[in-house]
């Protein structure tokens, strides 16, 4: 399943909680990038793009993501035959969604909606202080991140037409989580997997 939403909508917060539940595995693409050694060529590229609020090029992103997923499979942290993969922050545009079709089957797209851009900016400013995220630090970068979302990521909602569940991300975090869980336990793939005893 995918979590799609503007920066600050709460994808990471909710994804992390779901990832603690047995049979769900959370992968945040931004975290994969942030774990890179910034002295490497790839790490430098990430810093260059993210510090401007822009997306890292698609091929580079999906290649890195797929190496990380293979690594988690090899070390049995993620077991694709029994775990539901919760992807947060990838795909970020239609091109990535097309490339990903060779890697994953998308059953459900959770769209965290927060039409209030000022609220998103407020959350990002708070996060930059709490988590030391330089890519959320300046108003200019925050504005660019929101614009990048509107222009590049939002078209995914149409791309995944029929699989999308809109969830109001302005509610209290616990209510957002509850709404997401209600959607997830309704997925056919979840019901099938719930019957498998491991």
Name the residues that contact ligand AMP, by CB under 6 A.
7, 29-30, 33, 49-50, 54-56, 61, 89-90, 92, 96, 135, 145
User: Closest CB to ligand AMP among 29 and 85?
Assistant: 29
Helix (H, G, I), strand (E, B) or coil at 32: helix
Cβ 44 to ligand AMP shortest distance, Å: 13
What radius of gyration, in Å, describes the C-alpha atoms of the chain? Answer: 16
The single-letter DSSP state of residue 167 is: E
Task: Please report how close the Cβ of residue 11 comes to ligand AMP at its closest, in angstroms.
Answer: 7
Closest to ligand AMP by CB, 15 vs 180, is: 15
Q: Do 157 and 164 form a contact (C-beta atoms < 8 A)?
A: yes
We find the least distance from the C-beta atom of residue 166 to ligand AMP, in angstroms, to be: 20
Between 154 and 193, name the residue whose CB sits nearer to ligand AMP: 154
Q: Which residue, among 63, 64, 54, 19, has the nearest Cα to 153 in the 3D structure?
A: 54
Q: For residue 53, count CB atoms less than 10 angstroms from its CB and return exposed for 0-12, middle for 13-18, buried for 19 or more.
A: buried
Q: Residue 65 CB, nearest distance to ligand AMP (Å)? A: 7
């Amino acid at each position: 399943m995918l979590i799609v939403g503007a920066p600050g909508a709460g994808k990471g917060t909710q994804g992390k909680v779901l990832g603690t539940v047995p049979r769900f595995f959370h992968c945040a693409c931004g975290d994969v990038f942030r774990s890179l050694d910034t002295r490497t060529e790839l790490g430098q590229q990430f810093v260059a793009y993210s510090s401007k609020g822009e997306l890292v090029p698609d091929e580079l992103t999906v290649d890195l993501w797929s190496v990380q997923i293979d690594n988690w499979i090899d070390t049995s942290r993620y077991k694709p035959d029994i775990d539901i993969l919760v992807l947060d922050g990838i795909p970020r545009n239609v091109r990535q969604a097309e490339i990903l079709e060779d890697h994953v089957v998308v059953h459900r797209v959770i769209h965290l909606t927060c039409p209030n851009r000022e609220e998103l900016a407020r959350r990002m400013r708070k996060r930059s202080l709490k988590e030391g995220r330089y890519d959320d630090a300046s108003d200019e970068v925050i504005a660019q991140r929101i614009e990048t979302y509107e222009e590049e990521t939002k078209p995914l909602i149409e791309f995944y037409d029929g699989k999308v569940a809109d969830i109001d991300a302005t509610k209290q975090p616990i209510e957002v989580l509850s709404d997401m869980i209600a959607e997830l336990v309704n997925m056919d793939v979840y019901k099938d997997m719930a019957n498998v005893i491991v």
